[in-house]
Structure formats: C-alpha cells, structure tokens
Amino acid sequence: MIERYARPELLHLWSAAARYRAWLDVELAACEAMEDEGDVPPGTAADIRARVALDADRIAEIEKTVKHDVIAFLTQVEESVGEPARWLHLGLTSSDVLDTSLAVLLTRALDLITQALEGLMAAVKRRAFEHKHTVMVGRSHGMHAEPTTFGLVLAIFYDELHRHRRRLAGARERIAVGKVSGAVGTFANVSPTVEAAVCDALGLAPAPASSQIVQRDRHAEYFGALALLGASVERFAVQVRHWQRSEVGEAEERFTKGQKGSSAMPHKRNPILSENLTGLARLLRGYADAAIENVALWHERDISHSSVERVIGPDATTLAHFMLHRATGLVADLVVYPERMRANLDAGGGLVYSQRLLLDLARAGVARQTAYAWVQRNAMKAVEQGADFQTAVLADPDIGAHLDRPTIERAFDTGHHLRHVDTIFERVFGSEAA
C-alpha cells in the first residue's frame, strides 16, 4: 500500500522484517513443541533464538537464485544460526509456515482495525448526542421526505457500525486458525499435538481439518467483512458530500487555515475527505472479490491464491485502518449548520407534513385515495406555482369541510414527527441515552 493511505502501525505490521519474524515464530514454536515430544534435542529453540539474526535483504538475494521464499528464509536462518538450524522445519511444508503466520498477521491487523472502529464509533456517538434534537429534513430519492434530526442520522450510522464490530469479531475468530499438518494435511511427518502447541503459543486455534492450506473461505469472510465496513463508511461519506453541496449547505468538512480547495477557483471548499473515502471503499470491494476467487483451488492446493494475498492482505487491512481513522476525523470535525438545516426543512412551505394531513383526512372519514388526491393537488400547486402549502391547504374547500383550522395547523407540527427520538436513542445506546 502506498504511504499516502497508510498509517505507521500497519506499515510496520506488513514490513518484510515483521513477516519474516512471524515465520520464525512459527518455526520456533514448532521446534519447541518437538523438543517436548523428544524429537528435537532440548534447548535447540532457545539456542536458535539466541543466535538468529534475520536479514531481509539477504533473504531477497537468496530468493533470486532459489526462487522460493520459504527456502530462501530457511537458508538465511541457517547462515545466521549454523548447525542448530537443521532442526527447523522438520516435517513441515511451506504452507504450514505461511498460512499460520498469515493468520497471526491478519489477526493483529484486525485488532488494530477494531480499535480504530471503536474510535469512530465513539466520535459518532458523541456527535449524535450533540445533535440529538437538531432538526433537519429527511430525504428519500434525494428529495425532501419528512422531518428527522441530525442526531438520528448519526444514531443510525452508529448502529450500523456496531453490527460491523460484531462481524469483525466473527471474522477474527474464523481467521485465527493455524495448520502444522504437513504436505497434504495428514500429519504424516508431524504430530497433531505439535500443531496444537504451535497454535496455542501463537494465540490461534488449530484448523479442525486442512489440506496443504487453511481453506480460503475463512479469508474470503475476513476481506468481505472489511469491504462491508468500507461500504458503510462510504455511505456516510456520500451523505456528507450531499450536505456540503452549495445549494444544500447543511454540513461540511472542516476547512483548515491555509487549506486550498482548487488550483483555479479560490472560493472552492471541496469535500475531499469524503470523496477519498468513497474511492478507497471501491478498492476494498475489489479486494473482497479477489478473496472470494481464492476459495476454489485445485485439490489440496495450488498457488493461484498466493500472489493475490500478497497484495490484498497488506493493502486491504492498511486501507481499512486508514479509512477508519480518516472517517473519525471527518465526523469529529464536521461543521454542522442547524439554521440551514431548519431553513431547508421549511423551504417547501410545509410540504414535508403532507402525510399527516392525508392520515387526518382518512380518520375524518374521507376515502384514502380521495384524501390523497386532495392533498396532492395542493402539494403540486406549491411545487409548480410556488404557493405556500399550508396556506393552500387552509383554502381548500374539500379539506376544510372535513378538518377544522386547528387540526390542519397541528398537522404542521415538527414535534409530532420527532416525539420518539428518545426511544430510538435508547434502543441504540441503551441506558446511556437517558
């Protein structure tokens, strides 16, 4: 992943040095387990650990000749350690090391992503309570629908992120498995107890059954969860882009001192963070698609998944982590304009209250479709002729024959639409909403 869209924690996690360290951890855990079983001389793992000096550049140099990354790694370790290195990799195949270490790295990455998600959720929650009663127009199809509050919009986003928190927990459970079962997963040259000990040492569970690899439905779920999370971040970012439009003006990304919006137009203040998040979410979906393609491999394994995972493992996790931090800053610093929200709500002269009028007429004995036609003709007059909707309704003789003036005026009460805000907050945030 390019550094522009990466934070230091993930860059370090996926560095060559960290990758080889994870491989060595698997090899040493296996060596220690074999010591316990009497297959390797006691103290061998400790001796190797004391002597070893991993050299990523030397491994890359060796790989140019041997054209096999794990063999290059083992060769460099042997150069560094000497004679004790002959006890490494006994009965193992490359995928034992690669898949088990990948599970370690993906789990660590997901822990950082989850921590970042919790930071975003905290920011969303804080702003939701801040704007719990900030009235705005709700929209469907991009058109004015009925009143809502900005706090409710954020509460919905929070609830969505909470579901992602649960999805990530499930994905973590299913990706945190290792395999040290040999060439085709039959434990022909290594025992299941060694596998169990290795996984326990690394914080993993043994795969109940594996071929030469851990099956890739686990990885597909993992990257799918990241893609879904990105889609929800994108959904909110798209809303910000609409709110920031010049003719809407309800909220905008904070424009900092010295910032420039356009190389040509000095007046521009563009929603660059939101647009960036929209683009990055597209990449996450692409990575998820590639992970699904990796599920169907030939027989006990082929390596068509390998090149894909070398890219999507670091890139998808790094991007998701970056997106969450960027989205947290976007939410925390979002500039909200309650007066503009109210002005936009009122701009239609009360059109957003049409449903309550329709229901009041139905309750007064008017057939629903007839009531709909009466309300709609006044609404169209407001839309097409610029008339005030409430004034037009009060002047309509058909409506007036069934509803008195106080009843009509009550239909235009914003509070009626928002009387259950506290209930919704309590559902989302529990007792903290009280």
Superfamily (CATH H level) for 351-411: Fumarase/aspartase (C-terminal domain) (1.10.40.30)
Q: Which CA distances in Å does 425 have to 130, 131, 413, 429, 433? A: 12, 12, 21, 6, 6
In the chain, residues under CATH classification 1.10.275.10 are 3-87
Spell out, as residue ranges, where the chain has pLDDT lower than 50: none
Burial class (CB in 10 A: 0-12, 13-18, 19+), 52: buried
Q: Which fold has domain 94-342?
A: Fumarase C; Chain A, domain 2 (1.20.200)
* Residues forming the active site: 141, 262
Map tokens 């008195």 to a residue: 404
Q: State how far the Cα of 434 lies from the Cα of 425, in Å rounded to an integer.
A: 8
The pLDDT value given to residue 1: 66
The pLDDT value given to residue 215: 96
pTM: 0.94
CA neighbours within 13 Å on the CB side: how many for 254? 11
Q: Which fold has domain 3-87?
A: Fumarase C; Chain B, domain 1 (1.10.275)
In the chain, residues under CATH classification 1.10.40.30 are 351-411
In the chain, residues under CATH classification 1.20.200.10 are 94-342
Beta pairing, strands 177-178 & 205-206 = parallel
3-29 confidence digits (pLDDT tens): 899 999 999 999 999 999 999 999 999
The pLDDT value given to residue 433: 64
- Averaged confidence pLDDT in the chain: 95
